[in-house]
Structure 1
Amino acid sequence: MSTSGNSLHIDIPVKLAQVKAVFNIGALVFEGDLPASIFHMQLIENDASDWKAKADIVAIFHTNAGHATLHDAAYNADRNIATGNPYKQLIADLQKRGVGIELCGATAKVHHWGNADLLAGIRVNTDAMARTIQLVQEGFVKISE
Structure 2
Amino acid sequence: MIRSFTLAISATAILLVMTGSTAMAQSTTSDPQGNERPVIGLQHTGPIKVVYQVSEDKWKDGAGKAFLYLKNLRGFYDKQGISASDLDIRAVVHGDASSHVLTDEAWNRVKGVDTGNPNTKLLSELKKLGVSVELCDTRRKREGWSKSDINAGVLLTEAAYARIIDLQHQGYAYIKF
Query: Which TM bucket (shorter chain)?
Result: 0.7 to 0.9
Paired with 1:58 and 1:123, the residues of 2 have a C-alpha distance of 10
Q: Assess, with a 3 A threshold, how the Cα gap between structure 1 residues 8 and 45 changes in structure 2: closer, same or farther.
A: farther
Paired with 2:117 and 2:166, the residues of 1 have a C-alpha distance of 29
Identity %: 26
Q: Give the helix-richer structure, 1 or 2.
A: 2
1:94-114 per-position Cα deviation (integer Å, ceiling 9, x unaligned): 001001111101110111112
* Paired AA for residue 153 in structure 2: G
- State TM-score, norm by structure 1: 0.87
Paired with 2:82 and 2:56, the residues of 1 have a C-alpha distance of 31
For 1:1-145, what aligned pairs fall within 5 Å after superposition? 11-15=39-43, 16-50=45-79, 51-53=81-83, 54-145=86-177
The more displaced of 126-135 and 71-80 is 71-80
Paired with 2:99 and 2:140, the residues of 1 have a C-alpha distance of 9
Maintained 8 Å contact 1:19/1:48: no
Q: How many residues align?
A: 139
1:18 positional shift: 2.2
**RMSD between aligned alpha carbons?**
1.9
Q: Where does structure 1 differ by over 6 angstroms across 4 or more consecutive aligned residues? A: none
Paired with 1:129 and 1:66, the residues of 2 have a C-alpha distance of 14
Q: Give the strand-richer structure, 1 or 2.
A: 1
* Paired AA for residue 39 in structure 2: D
Maintained 8 Å contact 1:105/1:126: yes
1:29 positional shift: 2.2
Partner of 2:21: none
Partner of 2:8: none
Q: Based on CA coordinates, which of the two structures has the bigger radius of gyration?
A: 2
